[in-house]
Amino acid sequence: MKHTQTISRVAPAMTGSVHAVLGQVYYEWNQVDQARESLVHGIRLATLSAQPASVVYGNVHLACLHQRQGDLPAAAECLRVAGEALEKGAPGWARPDWIAQNANLLVALGNLSDAETTLRASGVSADEPVSYGTDILHLAWLRWMIASRHPEAFSLAERIVQSAEVEGRNGTLLQALVLGSKVGDDADWLARARTLGEPEGYQRVFMDEAGESMKDEFGSMNSALSTEAPEATPGQVKLHPSSSNRARIGSAAPARRGAVLCRNG
């Protein structure tokens, strides 16, 4: 990372985005303090270099971390800052992540009515075809449906899994499998998620998303993974496992492949 910061002609714009991605990797490996430090540093770099898209993504993912750690006021503040960045000129393709995390926070607060209103205002309905461009919102819809005990929750999970599996969007696939296991065939879906996530060192998706009755099944995996998570460096971070994150570099157009799991929800 220091080498990248030194030689990059686009630093700190590029390094701000890289820090945001690394923050998510650290979080998935259950290195929460490192994840927070990386996200905060990335936001600082993006702010100093006037890169509003990176400010949005960094704050959205930091909001997710705060939410998962139970600090809902801090999560709301991060989303407020991200919203201001959107109003000040961040590109429109950064908005879906912000909308989805707002909905996820409302679900966490138990405000299901406002969460539904927020998702409907996104322009992406739950019954629309699932694609790379809608993954983040469809996953938010799925979390809302699960919390609302909606009868179509498992059907949506199946559609997300089918689309993500066909196109190799493994981060989306992993989240949908774990979420779907809460309303469907938990043993089979969790087994598939474990096969997909274990080689990459994923822990938090199981710890955060799986129902209480399902966490015991992953106890041994989490214990083994937490003994020593690999140190992340820019050359080691795999950018293919997920499609939920849309961390861009600078103000470039949205990439068609994602990086790592977004800890939405």
Domain containing 156 — which CATH number? 1.25.40.10
pLDDT value of residue 8? 44
**Which residue range forms the structural domain that includes residue 124?**
2-227
Percentage of residues of the chain with pLDDT beyond 70: 73
Q: How far apart are CA 141 and CA 247, in angstroms?
A: 21
pLDDT value of residue 73? 97
Q: Decide: 118 and 104 in contact? Cβ < 8 Å.
A: no
* Number of separate domains in the chain: 1
pLDDT value of residue 213? 52
In this structure, is residue 85 part of a structural domain?
yes
- 41 band by pLDDT with thresholds 50, 70 and 90: very high
User: Average pLDDT of 55-69?
Assistant: 95
Max mean pLDDT range (150-164, 179-193, 216-230, 231-245): 150-164
DSSP 23-84: HHHHHHTT-HHHHHHHHHHHHHHHHHTT-HHHHHHHHHHHHHHHHHTT-HHHHHHHHHHHHH
| Residue 191 pLDDT greater than 50, yes or no | yes
In this structure, is residue 61 part of a structural domain?
yes
| Residue 19 pLDDT greater than 70, yes or no | yes
In this structure, is residue 232 part of a structural domain?
no
pTM assigned to the model: 0.80
pLDDT value of residue 223? 55
146-188 confidence digits (pLDDT tens): 999 999 999 999 999 999 999 999 999 999 999 999 887 677 8
In this structure, is residue 260 part of a structural domain?
no
